[in-house]
Amino acid sequence: MDFGVRFSKRDGEIELAREGGHSRARILHHKDQTGQEIESVLLKRVKEQSRVQLLEHHVMVDLLVSPNPELDTALKGQHCYGVYVLDSRNGAISPVRAKAIVLATGGAGMVYQHTTNPAIATGDGVAAAYRAGAVVSDMEFFQFHPTTMYDRDDTVQNHLITEALRGAGAILRSISGEAFMPRYDVRADLAPRDIVARAIDSELKRRGDPYVLLDCTHIDPKLLKSHFPHIDKSCKEKGFNFAEQPIWVVPAAHYQCGGVETDMQGRSSIQGLYAIGEVACTGLHGANRLASNSLLEAVVFAANAAESCEEWLKECPDLPSADAWSSEGTHTEHEAVLLKHNADEIRRMMWSYVGIVRSTRRLQRAQTRLELLTKEITEFYQRTRMSPDLVELRNLVLVADLIVRSALTRKESRGLHYSTDYPTTDTSQAPWHSRLSRLSALPPISAR
Residues acting as catalytic residues: 193
Separation of alpha carbons 414 and 144, rounded Å: 14
In this structure, are residues 121 and 241 in contact, taking their beta carbons and an 8 Å threshold?
A: no
Q: Which residues contact 20 (CB under 8 A, 6 or more apart)?
A: 146, 163, 166, 167, 189, 190, 191, 192, 193, 196, 290, 291
3-class secondary structure for the chain? CCCCCCCCEECCEECEECCCCCCCCCEECCCCCHHHHHHHHHHHHHHCCCCCCCCCCEEEEEEEEEECCCCCHHHCCEEEEEEEEEECCCCCEEEEECCCEEECCCCCHHHCCCECCCCCCCCHHHHHHHHHCCCEECCCCEEEEEEEECCCCCCCECCECCCHHHHCCCEEECCCCCCCHHHCCCCHHHCCHHHHHHHHHHHHHHHCCCCEEEECCCCCHHHHHHHCHHHHHHHHHCCCCCCCCCEEEEEEEEEECCEEECCCCCECCCECEEECHHHEECCCCCCCCCCCHHHHHHHHHHHHHHHHHHHHHHHCCCCCCCCCCCCCCCCECCCHHHHHHHHHHHHHHHHHHCCCCECHHHHHHHHHHHHHHHHHHHHHHHHECCCHHHHHHHHHHHHHHHHHHHHHHCCCCECCECECCCCCCCCCCCCCCCEECCCCCCCCCCCC
What are 355's strand-pairing partners? none
Taking every pair of Cα atoms in the chain, the longest distance, rounded to a whole number of angstroms, is: 69
In this structure, are residues 410 and 435 in contact, taking their beta carbons and an 8 Å threshold?
A: no
Neighbours of 226 (CB within 10 A): 12
